[in-house]
Structure 1
Amino acid sequence: MKLRKALYFYVILIRAIVQAWVKCPREAKALVSELWRVYQTQSYDAFIHFVLKRVLVHQYRLKVKIKLGRPSPTIFRKFYEEINGDEALCGDTAVKARQQPKYLIIRDGAMGDVLMLTPVVRALYLRHEGDIAIDIATQARAVFDHNPYVRAVLDPKTLSRGIHTYDAVLDLNEVYERSPQAHPVNVYGKFVLGVGAFDKKLELHATQEDAHVIDGVVAKIGGPYVVVHHFRHEWPNREIDPKVWGGLLDGFAQQKNFKVIYVGVDRDHAHIKGPGFEDHRGRYSIQQLSLLIARSEGFLGGDSGPSHIAATTDAPMCIFYTCAHHEARMPLRQTGRFLPITPRIDCYGCLTRNPVPRPGYFCQRGDNACVGAFDVGDVTHRILKFFEGRP
């Protein structure tokens, strides 16, 4: 192994042994003896493989993420006379708040992953008929702006400081990643709700001010439009080949039925092919983008955050997929047309077959061929027909 990887390997190994010792010294001694036996009797590569298989893969979560405080009536018993008449502590509202089940749901990010949690949070709230307090710890805090089902949105970094009191803590980090063949919404639902059907449409909650802003944008566009997210991604097997996009956008430039409105962040692409193309990157909050897509003829993009924002609407959606299979990422809404654009390659959707815990990026072929395995002419024809509402 390279020096940096070797150092990281031994640091994690030592931490695993220390934690095993704290948990059960007898088991830790047996583990160390077994490691030493393998190290002395087998090759170094065999020792590395043994450690990965025996220790690290099974203990890859090695750090306590939260300290929990158990509720106690002691304070009320000791100071009953002093607080009995205090409305803020003993009034109907305060008592009801203490009676509510308190849930903490943790999902750090990214934005699309967190957005797919929204139908589960809604279903949890409705199953309790609103008599529940739900806090969310996430880095994508904007997803829950104005959400009526959530009491508070927390920064995950603050969970390691202080003591938090909840009746249930559900850590959804790496949960759907451990079930790559399943849809994240279904996996979240399994962990939070158990069995049972629920409305799986994603949601965002916009304000009247958001609606006013988008009303002005739509009026200025002045006609039918399609929202396009030509994204740039850090995974080489998720960013569609520029030649595919180039041919597709040339086809868009020749039609006169709608304008093309580019969205996304500054690093994403926005190729202006003519007067019917407009660059709107970086202009909108995710709630405003949802409203913009809802008013459009449809959304075109790849498997990334804006595609999940589009799934909060009923607008037609046309999405490119490569390493992630469309059945594990498609919108689960009951309304709105959907067209998956999939590559002509036998290893399509390889992410669903990667080992668990799987790497964030991995191409078994080594050439990321799926990003260019599209017939540009056929794809362009199908997408244009789709947005025109033709079969």
Structure 2
Amino acid sequence: MKILLVRLRLIGDVVFTTPLVRVLRRKYPDADLTYVVEPLAAPVVHGNPHLDDVIVVPKRSGVARWRDDLSYARLLRARRFDMAIDLHGGPRSAWLTWASGAPMRIGYRMAGHSWMYTDVVERADDLLPRHSVVKQWDLLAPLGIEACEPARDAVEMPGDSEADARIARVLRDAGVGPFHQLIVLHVSAGNPFRRWPPEAFAAVVVELARRDPGRRFMVTSGPSDAVATPAIVDRVREHLGEAATAVSEGRFDVGELQALVTRAAVYIGGDSGPLHIAATTQTPIVALFGPTLAERSMPWRDPRWFAEAIDAGPLPCRPCHQRRCQPGDFRCLTGLTADRVVAAAERALASRNVDVTQTGVRALHA
């Protein structure tokens, strides 16, 4: 049997598909599993031991995109897939699923596109407190596959030895040694509605640094908010004075970020792709949630590995669709105070010396 999986973009959402990939391999051990993805998220699934092939389709626009899609449609049809599952639920993924010619095509009900599938699944409301990984299991209902749970089917991403070697050099050059506690903070998000204020991140670094001179900090960001990192680091250095050498900044690709977090004592960041890259490691996590719910997108991993969610608590406007702040003051983000994040980080650091199997994932509200 040949099975095609389509999830084109958004790093965190591609990470969320990896438990499903493992389950399909378990149900169909002799199947040929192929994954279609766009370039930015491709490193998440490259080298996945449960996949036989990864097809990377360029992300372009206009005539170039149509040419790409026609070319890849011919490629997919030539593979003669028996089944195609659209994990994405967008116009392009629906078209590629249909164009594969697979006799069984599973996808979400979408206006104007449902006819492209042979098996249509109702799509749950994004605002419901139901985890994204669990929601994807709805697509497996036509196959009779039962729901998953993180202890057995956690998210995963193969490590990259070359990326790890690069990170080792970066940390060495930054003066981070084997006896330091490395704290990684990812301070940006592709969605501006999920960005915690830079001054709050700076306050966390300053307080954690003052508490223990053996701590070292790597502040990272993505291209969507590249100016945040130097602004935060500059603010921290103003407060720390001579101790400011403990703080470094950097921008890393997906593989490097995973390697960096693997070497860290704790990861702190908002609900964005890097949070879910961090979930593929065993590093303790402090996850910051503004307009989104931890119940929907908490790191999906073995509960033995510490993960704590911090949010502003119940608000009449939360969760929201993140197109416009109705109150106008982003209270779901400003309500997250630095002292609460510092306290969570201390618990995360302490968890490295205790068995957290019984407590597992925690969620704290204001």
Alignment TM-score > 0.5, same fold: yes
- Mapped contact 2:187–2:198 kept (Cα < 8 A): no
Letter in 1 for 2:31: I
1:297 maps onto 2:265 in alignment: yes
Greater Rg over alpha carbons, structure: 1
Contact 2:157 2:280 in 1 (8 A): yes
More off after superposition, 308-317 vs 200-209: 200-209
Structure 1's unaligned 5+ residue stretches are 1-100, 352-358
1:305 alignment partner AA: G
Shift of 1:370: 1.0
**Alignment of structure 1 residues 122-161 onto 2, 5 Å:** 122-129=22-29, 131-139=30-38, 140-150=41-51, 151-155=53-57, 158-161=68-71
Are 1:135 and 1:152, in contact at CA under 8 Å, matched by a contact in 2?
A: yes
Looking at structure 2, the residues matched to 234 and 196 of structure 1 have their Cα atoms a distance apart, in angstroms, of: 29
The answer as to 2:139 corresponding to 1:191 is: yes
CA contact (8 A) 1:322 1:348 kept: no
Partner residue in 2 for 1:361 = 323
Q: Deviations over 1:328-373 (max 9, x none)?
A: 111221121011111145237414xxxxxxx552444344221101
Q: 2:217 aligned with 1:260, yes or no?
A: yes
Write the distance in 2 (CA, Å) between the matches of 1:240 and 1:136. Answer: 33
Task: Name the CA distance, whole Å, in 2 between partners of 1:245 and 1:377.
Answer: 11
Unaligned runs of 5+ in 2: 59-64, 90-107, 109-122, 237-243, 355-366
**CA offset digits 1:283-321 (Å, max 9, x no partner):** xx3223212212210100100011000000111000110
- Tell me by how many angstroms 1:240 deviates: 1.3
TM-score by length of 1: 0.64
Give aligned-pair identity as a percent.
22
Is the CA contact (8 Å cut-off) linking 2:271 and 2:288 kept in structure 1?
yes
Deviates more, 1:111-120 or 1:299-308: 111-120
Aligned to 1:205: 158
Structure 2 contact 15–155 (Cα < 8 Å) conserved:
yes
State the secondary structure of the residue aligned to 1:119. Answer: helix
1:180 deviates by 3.7
Q: Which has a greater percent of strand?
A: 2
User: Which aligned runs of 4 or more in structure 1 are off by greater than 6 angstroms?
Assistant: none
Of 245, 257, 261 in structure 2, the residue corresponding to residue 275 of structure 1 is: 245
TM-score, with length taken from structure 2: 0.68
Q: 2:82 aligns with which of 158, 167, 172?
A: 167
Kindly provide the amino acid, as one letter, of the partner of residue 116 in structure 1.
F
1:229 matches 2:180: no
Q: Which residue of 2 aligns with 1:240?
A: 196
Q: Distance in 1 between matches of 2:124 and 2:251?
A: 30
Tell me the C-alpha RMSD between the 2 structures. 2.6
Q: Secondary structure at the match of 1:275?
A: helix
CA distance in 2: counterparts of 1:333 and 1:155, whole angstroms: 28
Q: Number of paired residues?
A: 280
| Closer, same or farther: CA 347–200 of 1 in aligned 2, 3 Å | farther
